Amino acid sequence: MFAQLIRPLCRIWLRRPGLLILLTLLASIPAGLQVRKIRLDTDLSRLLPTSSRAVLSGRELEKVVGGDGGYFSVIFEGSDRAALDRAVDRMAQAAAALPNVQSVESRSPVEFIRHYRYLLVPSRTLAEVSRLVDRLEAEVNPLLVDLEAEGPGGEEKPKPDSSDLESKIERYLDLPERSVSPDGRLMGLIIRPQKGITSLGATRQLFRRMTQLAEEAAGAQGVTAWVSGSNRNKVDIYDQIRQDLNRSGTLAGLGILLVLMVAYRSVRILPVVLLPIGLGLLWSYALVPVLVGDLNTITSFLLMVLFGTGVEFAVHLVMRFQAELGERGLEDALFETFRSTGRSIVTSGLATTFGMAVLIFSRFRGFSEFGIIAATAIVAIFGSMFVALPPLLVLGARFKLVQPRAEGSGRLALVPPPWVTAGVFAVAVLAAGVALLRLGFDYDFTRLQPEIPAAEAAKSRHRAVYPGFTVPGAFYVARDLPALDAALEVLDKRRQELGEGGILGTASSVRDFAPSPGEFRERVRLLGELRERLSAAWTRKVKDEKKRRWIRDLADFEPPPAAPTVDELPPEIRGRFVARDGSGEWLIALDVIGRSRDGRTAMAFTREVYGLPMPAGVRGPTGDKPVLAEILWLVTEEGPWLVGLALLGIVLLVFLDRKSLVQTVWVLVPLLAGLVLSLGLLALIGGKLNFFNIVVLPNLIGNAVDNGVHYVRRWLEMGRDIAAVQGELAEALSASALTTIMGYAGLLAAHHAGLRSIGALAVLGLGCCWFTGVVLMPGLLAILGGRSSRRT
Amino acid sequence: MSRGFLMLSLLSLLGRPLAAGPLVEALKARQSKLDAILARHPGELPPAEKDKLGRILTETLDFREMGKAALGAEWDRRSDAERTHYLKAFEDLLRASLLRKPDIYRVNDVQYGPEKLEAGAGRVLTTVRSKDATTEVEYEFLGSAGQWRIVDYKLDGVSTVRNYRSQFAKILAKSGWAGLLDRLRKRASEIAAET
């Protein structure tokens, strides 16, 4: 059936090969124009389904909150304090005039804060201060026991860390008008844009403009400027991914060319091999804007991978064509190539496509779009192998670009002895055990971030000026003050229910500075108690001078009779908590307790906030933690199913092709052994799966099954002569595996740790599958049921 | 009823200070017992002597009243059995804490302020001078003639009962009733093991 189809095609390919190529190229011009529309979107929420809660909330509130509530910080560095002051003032003035800027915080409203100081401390914090006073009393009173101290050791017992709490109180002692580093060499200001990272274009523009303004302000005062902040990080990530893609793409391309040149020992043959792949990729990428819109972080690197994968088809076909050409005329060689190897690549192409297409069923768009693009590309490249490659082979043979070569002339025609095979098999079994026991999932997002040295220098200065300044885990938006109070009550109640081990951190809002009447009374009551306790004689025995300062200041503080109203708040404070879209709604910024970049923290926090019933008039939560959490939920939930489905589908495909259970098992042996070997090795070297590299697994399954498909087919066709098969295939399989590896290997040079982890797992996995394909497979076939005319 | 007791009762009703009354006498008697033990052992106290010291220090304390006050409103919410368990743990903690540093009872001089008696309650402010520091210790008593028991002691203004009330409230909020009892027992046994 397949052969009957190939014969007439051969006649067409042979008759007008030049015309066919010309027509194909002309037909590809619209695709080239369409490809120019492809954009990259590095927003992580782009990886989630559009119906996910994090995405819906993010869209609804992006203009109110400003994306993820991000900011820029501009830090000036120099030894002249007056020059730093002038630079900050000039920058503040210039930044405030920019159209996309919501607020600029360059001076602290010192008089206001000094006047109200401890009344601006929320009652929950004052209660913590009361607990701190309990401990201080216990420290100076030998008859009191601090019940919170842990373990034996008397006075040496570790005390609960109160430095954060104390720094919250101490900041009212020497209120600086400026944000300055402890050594006084750095001075900063915070700029909050109207739009957040959801409008990356606007954010990049703003970043460039601010960098320019900061450098002008710094230059005029003879100081240095640094631009940092969460929004700069997003811009950096985007730029870094683009740079990584260029670098990785170049390296991958060069690597693939090198492998092809070595495999064919010819440069002239390269256009014949590469043009069909290029055309296939062009056709498929022309569909990207229609099928998925923009590329995302995970699909961004796919081009090189598909290039590497697509080369496999051409490698097998061209090598087989060369072998046939050595024995037959052009037409018969072409026919035999596409009848036999053509059928193999149909099976392996379908398997690879299936491995990729399985991802389409994922709700995680990082996977599903990967699947859509990859499956489309494999089909397109596969199509190109039957449209563009045959006429190119004909032209190549006629113009001596493609030279014939003798069957079995491969230099890798070694069949391993049985003990090597048995050894590899044992190692694979052992690796499976290691993988099962030790392989874990990496939830730590800090290990998946790009490393950007230039940004790190700015970040370290930012941290020196604004220690502990972070983007909150989530935001809520309250319609009015009563709704705000009701929401704060819900959060406070839940925080109390969760106790100290809870995940909910501070909920910052305008109420911190303009408390409700009830909260004001509670603050006054707690302050009264604290003042009385801190006025007692024991405080004279506190040895730490820093503690004695805040104790004296708090004891002497006479609270004003009334709290400030929201209208009395200075704009620097009010601006932080009011909606950025001018609607007059109020923001609640909710912090996370725990390692904020750890995915498990993000999941626990999101589970908690998603379960909180908020009162009417309150929207949210939105922020980066829910996005991270939903990504991890989807990936960890769907990952095993996708891998299982890919395996199952490929087993079925192979069975349909082979129509024999035994042969199906033979085909799958190198794949399964390679897979467990690579996972075991990954676990042994301390590697983990993560939400970036897990996408490699179904992909790997689709790619690596090729080895078995080709091997078993030729083994049967060549009368089970394993040495002859090894002579023909070992080099082709090695070349095709190496080209795919090269496609991924470029990612090893990426600065983005997530992308790098994809490259690492893929290179390891493909390497292992190649090893089991050319070492385990021939050995097993030799042991299980073959003959070897040429064992070496 | 003796004439002296009548006089004392009248004065206590008026709430006027007394120069040296039963509370001061009780404190002085306790201090001389402590001094006698500590004088016999200038170095570390043998365990038996430490026990004696503990008995002297605690025989004047009203653990029930102190424990009740330290628990605040939670006391009323607890059953008799729960109160008994709690009081035992509280007493163990207090006893252990009083014996944690026996050397603090080696004092050079104690000055006793005037007694203040009012409706079954009394208060004495003392100034304790030791080698290292001078500390104001204020005792609060409850009871009547011959039956005065200490219900709180404040060192330099730090009330033992109030501090524990504050700590207990936070532990109750965080870990509940069982958590509080666990904490009391754990800390009492830790301190007892240290001493």
Q: What is the pLDDT of residues A545-593, one digit of tens each?
A: 889 999 999 999 998 999 899 999 998 888 888 887 778 899 999 999 8
Are the beta carbons of A73 and A190 closer than 8 angstroms? yes
Q: Is the pLDDT assigned to residue A39 strictly greater than 90?
A: no
Q: What is the pLDDT of residues A238-293, one digit of tens each?
A: 888 888 888 888 998 898 888 888 888 888 889 999 999 999 999 999 999 999 98
Which of A605-609, A670-674, B31-35 shows the lowest mean pLDDT across its residues? A670-674
CB distance from A151 to chain B under 8 Å?
yes
pLDDT level of residue A785 (50, 70, 90 thresholds): low
Cα A527–A531–A534 angle (5° rounding)? 135
Classify burial at A271, counting beta carbons within 10 Å of its beta carbon; exposed 0-12, middle 13-18, buried 19 or more.
middle
Q: What percent of chain A clears pLDDT 70, i.e. is strictly above it?
A: 94
> Mean pLDDT over residues A357-366, rounded?
87
CB distance from B155 to chain A under 8 Å?
yes
A694: DSSP letter: G
Considering only residues A3 and A519, tell me which one the structure prediction assigns the higher pLDDT: A519
Separation CA A53–CA A42 (nearest Å): 19
- Chain B residue closest in CA terms to A542: B156
pLDDT value for B4: 44
Tokens representing A447? 């290990």
CB contact under 8 Å between B160 and A541, yes or no, is no
Q: Which residues of B touch A130 (CB under 8 A)?
A: 166
CB contact under 8 Å between A536 and B156, yes or no, is yes
Considering only residues A766 and B174, tell me which one the structure prediction assigns the higher pLDDT: A766
pLDDT value for A786: 52
Separation CA A746–CA A691 (nearest Å): 19
Q: What is the pLDDT of residues B63-93, one digit of tens each?
A: 999 999 999 999 999 999 999 999 999 999 9
Q: Is the pLDDT assigned to residue A525 strictly greater than 90?
A: yes
pLDDT value for A217: 95
Mean pLDDT of the residues in chain B: 85
Q: Is the pLDDT assigned to residue B180 strictly greater than 90?
A: yes
> Mean pLDDT over residues A62-85, rounded?
85
Helices (H), chain B: 3-14, 22-40, 47-58, 63-71, 74-77, 80-98, 160-194
> Mean pLDDT over residues A161-180, rounded?
80
Q: Is the pLDDT assigned to residue A155 strictly greater than 50?
A: no
Considering only the beta carbons, identify the residue of A127, A134, A537 that sits closest to B163: A134
CB contact under 8 Å between A143 and B133, yes or no, is no
pLDDT value for A265: 82
Separation CA A408–CA A723 (nearest Å): 9
pLDDT value for A313: 84
Q: Which helix (H) or strand (E) holds A280?
A: helix A270-286
The residue among A131, A139, A143 with the most chain B CBs within 10 A of its CB, best to mutate, is A143
Q: B171: distance to nearest CA of chain A, Å?
A: 9
Phi-psi region of A582 (alpha: psi -120 to 50; beta: other; left: phi over 0): left
CB distance from B173 to chain A under 8 Å?
yes
Q: What is the pLDDT of residues A627-640, one digit of tens each?
A: 889 988 998 888 88
pLDDT level of residue A461 (50, 70, 90 thresholds): very high
Q: What is the pLDDT of residues A378-387, one digit of tens each?
A: 889 989 998 9
pLDDT value for B162: 93
Q: For the whole model, what pTM was predicted?
A: 0.75
- Comparing CA positions, the residue from A121, A141, A158, A411 lying closest to residue A265 is A411
> Mean pLDDT over residues A131-144, rounded?
87
DSSP strand E in A522-604: where? 586-592
Q: What percent of chain A clears pLDDT 90, i.e. is strictly above it?
A: 29
Amino acid at A406: A
pLDDT value for A199: 60
Provide the Cα torsion A516, A520, A523, A528; round to 10°: -170
Are the beta carbons of A225 and A75 closer than 8 angstroms? yes
CB distance from B190 to chain A under 8 Å?
yes
Burial profile B52-63: b = 16 or more Cβ within 10 angstroms, e = fewer? bbbebbeebbbb
Mean pLDDT of the residues in chain A: 85
Cα B47–B48–B50 angle (5° rounding)? 60
Q: Which residue has the tokens 């390919």?
A: A13
Q: Is the pLDDT assigned to residue A80 strictly greater than 60?
A: yes
Q: Is the pLDDT assigned to residue B168 strictly greater than 90?
A: yes
CB distance from B163 to chain A under 8 Å?
yes
Q: Is the pLDDT assigned to residue A428 strictly greater than 70?
A: yes
> Mean pLDDT over residues A1-13, rounded?
81
The residue among B139, B167, B171, B177 with the most chain A CBs within 10 A of its CB, best to mutate, is B167
Q: What is the pLDDT of residues A708-763, one digit of tens each?
A: 888 888 888 888 888 888 887 888 788 878 888 888 888 898 888 888 899 999 99
> Mean pLDDT over residues A224-230, rounded?
92
Separation CA A281–CA A311 (nearest Å): 11
Considering only the beta carbons, identify the residue of A141, A145, A537 that sits closest to B93: A145
Considering only the beta carbons, identify the residue of A134, A153, A533 that sits closest to B167: A134
DSSP characters for A638-668?
A: HHHHHHHHHHHHHHHHHHHHH--HHHHHHHH
CB contact under 8 Å between A142 and B101, yes or no, is yes
CB contact under 8 Å between A499 and B173, yes or no, is yes
pLDDT value for A67: 60
> Mean pLDDT over residues B152-179, rounded?
91
Q: What is the pLDDT of residues A466-478, one digit of tens each?
A: 887 777 889 999 9
pLDDT level of residue A148 (50, 70, 90 thresholds): confident
> Mean pLDDT over residues B174-182, rounded?
91
Considering only the beta carbons, identify the residue of A130, A144, A496 that sits closest to B158: A144
Q: What percent of chain B clears pLDDT 90, i.e. is strictly above it?
A: 54
Q: What is the pLDDT of residues A679-719, one digit of tens each?
A: 888 888 888 888 888 888 887 887 788 788 888 888 888 88
CB contact under 8 Å between A141 and B167, yes or no, is no
CA A306, A309, A311, A313 torsion: positive or negative?
Answer: negative
pLDDT value for B150: 93
ipTM over 0.90 threshold: no
